[in-house]
Structure 1
Amino acid sequence: MKITDIRHITVPIESEMANAFINFSKMDVSVLAIETDEIRDGQKVIGYGFNSNGRYAQPGILSHRVVPRVLEQDSKNLINPETGHLDPALIWKAAMVNEKPGGHGDRAVALGILDMASWDLAAKLAGKPVQNLMAEIPGVGLGKPLEKVWVYAAGGYYYPDRGTDALVEEMLNYVGMGYRTVKMKIGGASLEEDIQRIEAVLDALPEGVTLAVDANGRFDGAEAVRYGNALGNYPLHWYEEPTDPLDFEGLKMVADSYEGPLATGENLLSRGEANNLVLYGGLRKDRDVLQMDSALSYGFTEYQKTLADLKEKGWDAGRCVPHGGHQFNLAIAAACGLGGSESYPGIFEPFGGFADSIDVVDGHVGLPDIPGIGLEAKSSLAPILAKLS
């Protein structure tokens, strides 16, 4: 068994929507395929991966460093001797040859893309859904994955031609889809305007549905505290990313003054940064939420070590709700007993969302029971995967 080729393409996800920091008019994604010489049901076994939204495609790092290193490896160095199959950890190790510690950034995203494809491939070779394979990992997996995972609908972006009425309609549409928590953006307008938007949504939401807000790291510590003082008057599910991802001092200021739950971590791209967040960010183990995204931070091969570190520091896996809104993080949540996973209904297509047959029921979704991640069970992804196969 060996890898015969690794291919990748860049796919745009153009949109005029914006959060407090960026618009997505030029955003794109890398999609990668690892092809093998293994034949199943008359077809070559191929693993697929891509990066989460919010970080750009990585054709340069993939082509110049990551892919050549894996293809240059002797196949026997990528095979797990116990299973006889290609091993995500060994593929990851090959891709990181001659890389110094630190300097995470886009490299962490490129490795995340490769690693997602490696796990899709490994699960297909094992003939199992990827959540079943990951659940078997000692110390991290549950043994048997959860049958359903809590999800929330992330949206509420700023659009140049849409006002508060459109925002309210969007949030109610998510409720109609089965979500019981919805999220909207703040920080892209004045505090006064954002409060009006929040109040309009809260007034419209039915009983039992909660609202989270996301500042996307827009504020310094003092401004984040000012916003938090105003937000404290409302029953919010959480106040997300109030400060720059690495401003742990500013985040601690918010945690010391805001009694409600905080959520952050999606823009931390390494295990070390995640450790520093819980050590120095003032977060509280009984209410706050960690949103690190494996697809942006070296993949599940590294993320499982992050989970082990968090457990050692007294953080329950249920406090982790990954960013990204895609099937891979959903599978990780099911395999490791995380608190849930983000969802982007109708946004960042075709990469966000779940398999075609999976509906949101009372804020939860199930997972496809097919080998791999189940990307092939999402029909809108089929044309892109076809270009790589």
Structure 2
Amino acid sequence: MIPRIMQAKPEDYLTADGTNLDPFKLWDLMLTNEKPGGHGERSVAVGTIDMAIWDAVAKIEEKPLYKLLSERYGDGHPDDKVFVYAAGGYYQPGKDDTMLQKELKSYLDLGYSVVKMKIGNSLEEDQRRIEAALKVVPSGQHLAVDANGRLDLPTAIKYADMLAPYDLFWYEEPGDTLDFQLQNTLSRYYSQTMATGENLFSMQDARNLIRYGGMRPDKDYLQFDCALSYGLVEYMKTLKMLKENGWSSRRCIPHGGHQMSLNIAAGLKLGGNESYPGIFEPFGGFADDEPIEDGYVKLPQVPGIGFETKAKLMKVLRDVAAS
């Protein structure tokens, strides 16, 4: 992808007035002679370069990316803060219910209002773990569960029956992301909120989920991650498709917990963004000096995506650049 960009002429990637990079032209350059399909093999490569391009575009304009996105592609009034939830609750050797409770409470103490834990090992074990979690979170609406695609349909239905009385924030990715029939059928058994889509890597895959997955625009959430899915250029195509199918951008809460999605969420008015407190540092997380308050985080007022507001990340990037 990089050689295709470097070998291009300036008129192939600059805006019409020559004052900035054109992300859409650059996206087309990266995908020169690429045929459709096979989205998992190159979507992250394009998404990574696309992120760098948008950072540069916003810095050339001397604006935070979320403000640039709102001015160019939104309503000109970006959100000044974004809902974020804390993802964790992993299975680990020797991790008992008390340790799970301590972990989830630590996220609440950081300022998050919604926390997420993993399920899918066994129904009986997970019911016990969920009930332990509910002793430290305010209510079921403050707890989401994520099966990471582990369940077949009969098991997913059993989990749905078990989960329903708890009125959870959502039931995430019960089956394989591409098993649209499972997701569609499950929606007839589980009337509360579900979420999926983090492992779909293109607008076409997202469209198939909307067409065939039984997702409900009045209650379910979509978790497409621009960094995994050809970047923001593709994400805007996905948002356009969703609007054409009666979905609000507010039903999108991207997977990943990174600053690019945070800027998109604020600039294009998504429903929020995932967060992994302390797990994927220094790449995950948000600006060092922007704390989580009542489940929301503000964006730094610096040009670009805001990488420079994370000291540990900048040390890594500078070390790489110097090597």
Which deviations, in whole Å up to 9, do the C-alpha atoms of 1:122-159 show, x marking residues without a partner? Answer: 10111100001111234xx2312110001100010111
| Deviations 1:56-96, CA, capped at 9 Å, x for gaps | xxxxxxxxxx1111111112211011462112111111111
Residue in 2 that maps onto 1:74: 9
Residue 365 of structure 1 aligns to a residue in which SS? Answer: strand
Q: Which whole-Å CA distance do the structure 2 matches of 1:230 and 1:208 have between them?
A: 13
With 166-175 and 82-91 compared, the bigger mean Cα shift is at: 82-91
Counterpart Cα distance in 2 of 1:134 and 1:161? 45
1:1-389 alignment, distance < 5 Å: 66-82=1-17, 84-138=19-73, 141-187=74-120, 189-206=121-138, 210-389=142-321
TM-score (norm 1): 0.81
Q: How far does the alpha carbon of each residue in 1:236-269 deviate from its partner, in whole angstroms, 9 at most, with x for none?
A: 1000001101100000111111011000000000
Output the CA distance in 1 between the equivalents of 2:18 and 2:261.
24
Runs of 4+ in 1 over 4 A off after TM superposition: none
Higher strand share: 1
Q: State the 1:388 CA deviation.
A: 4.0
Output the CA distance in 2 between the equivalents of 1:252 and 1:375.
Answer: 39
Deviation at 1:387, TM superposition (A): 2.7
Separation in 2, partners of 1:167, 1:208 = 16
Q: Which blocks of at least 5 consecutive residues in structure 1 are unaligned?
A: 1-65
- The residue identity in structure 2 corresponding to 1:258 is Y
Asked whether the 8 Å contact 2:141–2:168 carries over to 1, the reply is no
User: Which of 285-294 and 226-235 deviates more?
Assistant: 226-235
Q: Is the 8 A contact 2:89 2:116 kept in 1?
A: yes
Cα offset for 1:219? 1.1
SS in 2 for 1:153: strand
Per-residue CA shift, 1:320-379, capped at 9, x if unaligned? 000010111011000111110001111111111100110101000000100000011001
Taking structure 2 as the reference length, the TM-score comes to 0.97
Amino acid at match of 2:36: P
**1: distance between equivalents of 2:217 and 2:21?**
37
Alpha carbons of 1:171 and 1:83: their partners in 2 closer, same or farther (altered >3 Å)? farther
Return the alpha-carbon distance in structure 2 between the equivalents of residues 380 and 163 of structure 1: 31
Q: Which has the higher contact order (CA 8 A, sep 6+)?
A: 2
Who is 1:29 aligned against?
A: none
The aligned amino acid for 2:42 is R
User: How far 1:209 moved relative to its partner?
Assistant: 6.3
Q: Which residue of 2 aligns with 1:32?
A: none
In the comparison of the two structures, how many residue pairs are matched? 321
What secondary structure does 1:124 align onto?
helix
- 1:161 deviates by 2.8
Following TM superposition, by how much is the alpha carbon of 1:208 offset from its aligned partner in structure 2, in angstroms? Answer: 8.7
What's the Cα RMSD here? 1.2
Instruction: Kindly indicate which of the two structures has a greater share of residues assigned to helix.
Output: 2
